[in-house]
Structure 1
Amino acid sequence: MRTILKAMAILATAVTITSGAARAEYPERVITLIVPFAAGGAADVTGRIMADAIGKRLGQSVIVENVAGAGGTTGIARGASSEGDGYTIVLGHMGTHAAAPALYPQLAYDPSSSFKPLGLVTRSPIIVFARKDLPAKNFAEFLEYARSHPTEYTNGHSGAGSISHITCALLSSVGKFEATLVPYRGNGPMMNDMLGGSVDFSCDLVVSVSSQVKGQAVKGLAVAAKERSKAVPDVPTTVEAGLPDFQADTWTGLFVPATTPDEIAQRLEAAITSSLDDPEVRKRLEDLGAEVPKPDERGGRYLADLVSSERLRWAEVIKSANITIAQ
Structure 2
Amino acid sequence: MSACKSAFTLRRELGMFLAGLACTLATVGLAQAQAQPQTQVWPAHPVKLISPWPAGGSNDTFSRLIATRLTTTLGQPVIVENRPGASGTLGVSQVARSPADGYTLVMGSSPTHATALSIYPQLSYHPLKDFAPVTLVGSSANGLVVHPSVPANSVAELIALAKARPGKLSYASTGSGSSQHLSAELFKVMTGVDMLHVPYKGAAPAVSDIVAGHVNLGFHNLVDVLPHVKAGTLRLLAVTSAQRTKALPDTPTIAEAGVPGYMAEVWFGVFAPAKTPRPLIDRLHREISAALAEPEIRARFDASGMDVVGSGPDAFARYVQEEITKWSDIVRRADVKPN
User: What's the TM-score bracket when you normalise by the shorter of the two chains?
Assistant: 0.7 to 0.9
Give the structure-1-normalised TM-score.
Answer: 0.87
Number of residue equivalences: 323
Is 1:43 the counterpart of 2:56 in the alignment? Answer: no
Work out which of the residue numbers 193, 207, 230 in structure 1 matches 2:223: 207
- Tell me the residue number matched to 2:273: 257
CA 261–238 in structure 1, closer or farther in 2 if over 3 Å, else same: same
The one-letter code sitting in structure 2 at the alignment partner of 1:12 is T
Work out which of the residue numbers 323, 326, 329 in structure 2 matches 1:310: 323
- Tell me the residue number matched to 2:85: 69
- Tell me the residue number matched to 1:321: 334
Work out which of the residue numbers 156, 159, 171 in structure 1 matches 2:172: 156
Superposed CA RMSD? 2.7
* 1:129–1:218 Cα contact (<8 Å) kept: yes
User: Bigger CA drift: 209-218 or 153-162?
Assistant: 153-162
CA 284–9 in structure 1, closer or farther in 2 if over 3 Å, else same: same
Give the structure-2-normalised TM-score.
Answer: 0.84
User: Bigger CA drift: 177-186 or 73-82?
Assistant: 177-186
Partner Cα distance (2:87, 2:199) in 1: 15
The alpha carbon displacement at 1:188 in A equals 4.8
Partner Cα distance (2:204, 2:28) in 1: 59
The one-letter code sitting in structure 1 at the alignment partner of 2:36 is A
CA 260–238 in structure 1, closer or farther in 2 if over 3 Å, else same: same
Is 1:301 the counterpart of 2:317 in the alignment? Answer: no
- Tell me the residue number matched to 1:240: 256
CA 29–46 in structure 1, closer or farther in 2 if over 3 Å, else same: same
- Tell me the residue number matched to 1:21: 36
* CA deviation profile, 1:7-28 (whole Å, cap 9, x unmatched): 8568536514522531451414
Is 1:275 the counterpart of 2:291 in the alignment? Answer: yes
* CA deviation profile, 1:67-88 (whole Å, cap 9, x unmatched): 2222211211121111112222
The alpha carbon displacement at 1:137 in A equals 2.3
Partner Cα distance (1:6, 1:82) in 2: 37
* 1:120–1:252 Cα contact (<8 Å) kept: yes
Task: Give unmatched runs, 5+ long, in structure 2.
Answer: 1-14
Task: Give unmatched runs, 5+ long, in structure 1.
Answer: none
**Looking at CA atoms only, which structure, 1 or 2, has the larger radius of gyration?**
2
CA 188–77 in structure 1, closer or farther in 2 if over 3 Å, else same: closer
The one-letter code sitting in structure 1 at the alignment partner of 2:37 is A
CA 6–280 in structure 1, closer or farther in 2 if over 3 Å, else same: same
Work out which of the residue numbers 15, 20, 27 in structure 2 matches 1:12: 27
User: 3-state DSSP class of the match of 2:307?
Assistant: coil
The one-letter code sitting in structure 1 at the alignment partner of 2:120 is Y
Work out which of the residue numbers 174, 192, 200 in structure 1 matches 2:190: 174
